[in-house]
Amino acid sequence: MRYQQLAEEILNLVGGRENVNSVIHCITRLRFKLKDESKAQTEKLKMLDGVVTVMQSGGQYQVVIGNHVPEVYKELAAAGGFTEESKEEKPEGNALNRFIDIVAGIFTPILSILVASGMIKGFTALFTSSGWLSDESGTYHILNATGDALFYFLPVFLGYTSMKKFGGTPFIGMAIASALLYPSIVTLTEGDPLYSIFTGTVIESPVNMTFLGIPVILMTYSTTVIPIIIATFFAAKVEAFLSRYIPSVVKTFLVPTFTLLLIVPATFIVIGPIATWLSSLLGGGTSWLFDLSPIIAGIFIGALWQVLIIFGLHWGIVPIAFNNLSTLGYDPVLATAMASLLATAGTVLAIMIKTKNQQIKALSIPAFISAVFGIVEPAIYGITLPKKKPFIISCIGGAAGGGITGFFASKLYVFGGLGIFSFPTYISPTEGFNSEFWGYVIAVIVATVLGFVLTYFFGGVNQDNTPIEETGQTEEMVDNSMSKEEIIASPLNGKIIALQDVSDPVFASEAMGKGVAIMPSEGKIVSPVNGVITTLISSKHAIGITSEEGVEILIHVGIDTVQLNGEHFINHVEQGDKIQAGELLLEFDIDKIQAAGYEIVTPIIITNHDQYKKLELTVESTINQKDILLTVGE
């Protein structure tokens, strides 16, 4: 009941179900894509019991919950009717925001199972390196398969999540990835090649088979990341293109058929090899940079890691780490960041021991436990960041740990557990407990102790009963939101016609709603607002749109054109599609419609006009697409 109440309060304070485009969750956060972030009551959200803080970053409205986010998300999904199958919104903002949004959308859904598999794989390596388990025993093989299966078949999982993120059908992405890992294809790399291409260059490659006479360079796609993400990006585009032109009666099976027939060969022939070469270059470049000065690189990453977490920018490092694991067999980047998590644990432990403030002590205990297991958001947002000095000290501890990790050239051999569960992921599969592993152990100890000692003596921790620094208002917030106006742009180029002058009495009498008509000079209709296609008549001559602000718009091309049964019309959207202002919705042939004996005058109607006090029409006699046509307000 507690999670249910919290979820309902969060949903209400982000603006209600109607203000949410989509929501997912990671380990600690609810990640909303809101239609209008200004409608969210951020300060009230921050003050909720159960909410750590609120962040707006990477094109997402992030409500930080902590360890109980899965339970809250479950209740939120039930309250708002959200499903995992709902399409992700197109990322907005600058290039960095869009990149972070894409990466988070692809990796967040499988993050928990990635960590679980990595922990099993890491502990299996620990048991074998310690001599507790023989690598020839059945127990080992089952544990190894349990931990390694997800990583071997990682392209299949990413095929689902990336295809979903790009707006395509997830199972098509899984089918593409499965083809890349198909056993009979994989075994073809074991024989002698037919011949080689690009001979004498750095990308000289053997050709083991051909497709319609075209040489195919077979790559190893298990555990890879970049090839399947690029393949699904193009697959989503191809699927969307085919969906526009293949008739609805056969669309269900012909669209995936042709998508697979086009993308799978293209991936084997072009996308896969190029993406693999790029992956190798990226992995080699990362290794080269760390070889230049692993200590400086470690200090830099260790110091900034918690700052990256605050803004959600640490997701930008994840693809690099996965790429390194698949191309190099190890990763030095995330390896230098992990000690910073336990530096935070040491910092919070010092606060918990020294403070006499019962509120701070009560917050510190669960935050410390979470940080020990590598989940530092509750500690950062609830303890260290509000008090400032402890946060800076934790970054210093992270820098020290990262520098030591770099000095010992410690490496991450599998993406797995965080905090104290990270140790097995540093065990070399071939050398076991080598100096690199012990170097990481030393780095963690130094980072933790440094965070504890500096905070205890220099962290400015209050020993009296001074309450923790307030981060929000304590008085009841007053909703001063003002009524808004919405601009309805013209969907057509043409001449303005008064609605009363339209020959159809239903429109002329305003029985359908108030509005205006346009005599089009060009047979193209674009969206007048951001919104959703709520109605698309099968004859294609009429489109119903609901804007993000709730204005319901009907665009009706011609009079009695329903009798054309879609002839001379081409629609570029489907019912239920989310659309942006200016997006092409419909094309129609003016000459052929008129030759068939029909008028092309096009009414644009606000069907729920009775909900608004204000509806102003343009005073212009002619208008172009995207010019202001109507203004609707309360």
Q: How many angstroms separate the CA atoms of 537 and 573, rounded? A: 12
Which of 123, 121, 171 minimizes the C-alpha distance to 150?
121
- Find the radius of gyration of the CA atoms of the chain: 29
Neighbours of 626 (CB within 10 A): 15
Amino acid, res. 392: I
What single-letter DSSP state applies at residue 89?
Answer: P
Tell me if 237 sits within 8 A of 225, measured CB to CB: no
Which of 295, 283, 397 minimizes the C-alpha distance to 346?
397
Pinpoint the alpha helices (H) of 418-564: 435-458, 505-508
Q: How many angstroms separate the CA atoms of 172 and 169, rounded? A: 6
Residue 320 CA: distances (Å) to CA of 247, 283, 287, 333? 42, 8, 11, 8
Tell me if 514 sits within 8 A of 615, measured CB to CB: yes
State yes or no: is 395 an active-site residue.
no
Q: How many angstroms separate the CA atoms of 98 and 60, rounded? A: 10
What single-letter DSSP state applies at residue 576?
Answer: T
Tell me if 55 sits within 8 A of 311, measured CB to CB: yes
**Helix (H/G/I), strand (E/B), else coil: 535:** strand
Of 10, 24, 26, 51, the catalytic one is 26
**Where do the DSSP E strands lie in 12-64?**
20-25, 29-34, 53-57, 60-64
Tell me if 531 sits within 8 A of 573, measured CB to CB: no
Give me the active site residues, please. Answer: 26
